[in-house]
């Protein structure tokens, strides 16, 4: 599992920002309500205090989810060493920070967002990074439907919690436009909600039609076998900083972020999808572990008895883990 904690330089930069912004709890509450209602972040991010609230409340969970996805890409495609990154819909640069932690090979990073205030914040936070590529990241104004000008292509394209802000009729077009800019791997990370998962499945079909191959989370490229009303999503637990707790008015020192994702690659990328993935919490009994799996033949419930040599491994598996 990827480290869900923010890198120390990013934590320090956020702490400095919050110290200069005062109490942001009220604005953070408004942003949380907007997120749950699938409203665009632009509706509730208007000034510096709003930006401070956003990086305090939404950035940590978004980072943890994207970091988990990028680590899985590294496992599925161990030879993948991207040199260039496009972080589309970057917000305060969250995905770029996660990508820098996951891939030390990055040499050039481009951050794109339609919101100039977000781009300015992304630059301010990136300046604190010890990674030269992130500290010197290029920042461009643009949208998911209109990525950077020209025909530039990138080894890794990531869009995190950005497609969710588009209406249904625009998401496939936006994903295909990002795919055209991708020379290696495209990763799309979205909230772990039924609506966003269903839209990801529509995007998945379109990307396969455009020549993409699966990296994750699916073990196959057939239609999703989940029944209507069900959805594939994952969870990552992240520790809350003191500022995070105060901004959210929370009582717990941790947060569980649920997310869905899709990672696809150009055929030249040597990616090996999982043979099966645990799609729900396993049931661990004294003499048996019951694993709810999605495999190459569809959904199955696999029981691993205590006498089975695989029992010790099976009892340690968690929701979202892959089986090779």
Can you give the pLDDT at residue 79? 95
How confident is the model over 79-92, as a mean pLDDT? 97
- Decide if 58 contacts 255 (C-beta within 8 A): no
Which of 2, 174, 249 is closest to 103 using CA atoms?
A: 2
Please report which helix (H) or strand (E) contains residue 292, including its range.
strand 288-295
Going from N- to C-terminal start, the domains of the chain cover: 8-265, 276-323
pTM: 0.91
- The CATH architecture annotation of domain 8-265 reads 3-Layer(aba) Sandwich (3.40)
pLDDT at 24 over 90: no
Q: In terms of pLDDT, which residue wins out, 149 or 124?
A: 124
Please report which helix (H) or strand (E) contains residue 60, including its range.
helix 59-76
Partner residues linked to 179 by β-bridges: none
Can you give the pLDDT at residue 186? 98
- Decide if 260 contacts 197 (C-beta within 8 A): yes
What is residue 214's three-state secondary structure? strand
- In angstroms, rounded to a whole number, what is the distance separating the alpha carbons of residues 321 and 324? 10
pLDDT at 29 over 60: no
Percentage helix, strand, coil, to 5, in the chain? 40, 25, 40
Positions of E strands within 77-196: 84-88, 108-113, 138-141, 154-160, 182-191
Per-residue pLDDT tens digits for 186-218: 999 999 999 999 999 999 999 999 999 999 999
- Decide if 126 contacts 137 (C-beta within 8 A): yes
């Amino acid at each position: 599992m990827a480290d869900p904690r923010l890198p120390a330089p990013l934590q320090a930069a956020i702490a400095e920002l919050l110290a200069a912004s005062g109490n942001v709890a009220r604005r953070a509450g408004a942003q949380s309500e907007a997120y749950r209602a699938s409203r665009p972040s632009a509706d509730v991010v208007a000034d510096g205090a709003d930006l401070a609230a956003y990086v305090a409340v939404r950035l940590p969970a978004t980072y943890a989810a994207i970091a988990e996805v990028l680590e899985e890409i590294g496992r599925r495609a161990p030879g993948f060493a991207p040199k260039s990154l496009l972080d589309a819909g970057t917000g305060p640069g969250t995905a770029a920070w996660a990508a820098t932690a996951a891939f030390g090979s990055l040499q050039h990073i481009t951050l794109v967002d339609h919101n100039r205030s977000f781009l300015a914040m992304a630059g301010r936070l990136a300046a604190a990074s010890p990674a030269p590529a992130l500290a010197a990241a290029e920042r461009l104004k643009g949208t998911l439907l209109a990525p950077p000008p020209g025909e530039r292509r990138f080894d890794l394209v990531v869009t995190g919690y950005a497609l969710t802000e588009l209406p249904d009729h625009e998401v496939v077009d936006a994903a295909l436009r990002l795919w055209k800019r991708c020379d290696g791997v495209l990763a799309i990370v979205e909230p772990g909600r039924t609506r966003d998962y269903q839209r990801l499945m529509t995007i998945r079909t379109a990307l396969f039609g455009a020549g993409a191959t699966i990296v994750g989370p699916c073990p196959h490229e057939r239609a999703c076998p989940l029944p209507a009303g069900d959805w594939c999503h994952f969870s990552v637990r992240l520790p809350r900083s003191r500022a995070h707790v105060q901004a959210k008015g929370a009582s717990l020192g941790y947060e569980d972020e649920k997310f869905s994702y899709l990672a696809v690659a150009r055929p030249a990328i040597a990616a090996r999808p999982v043979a099966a993935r645990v799609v729900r919490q396993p049931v661990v009994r004294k003499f048996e572990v019951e694993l709810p799996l999605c495999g190459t033949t569809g959904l199955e419930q696999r029981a691993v008895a205590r006498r089975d040599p695989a029992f010790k491994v099976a009892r340690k598996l968690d929701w979202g883990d892959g089986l090779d």
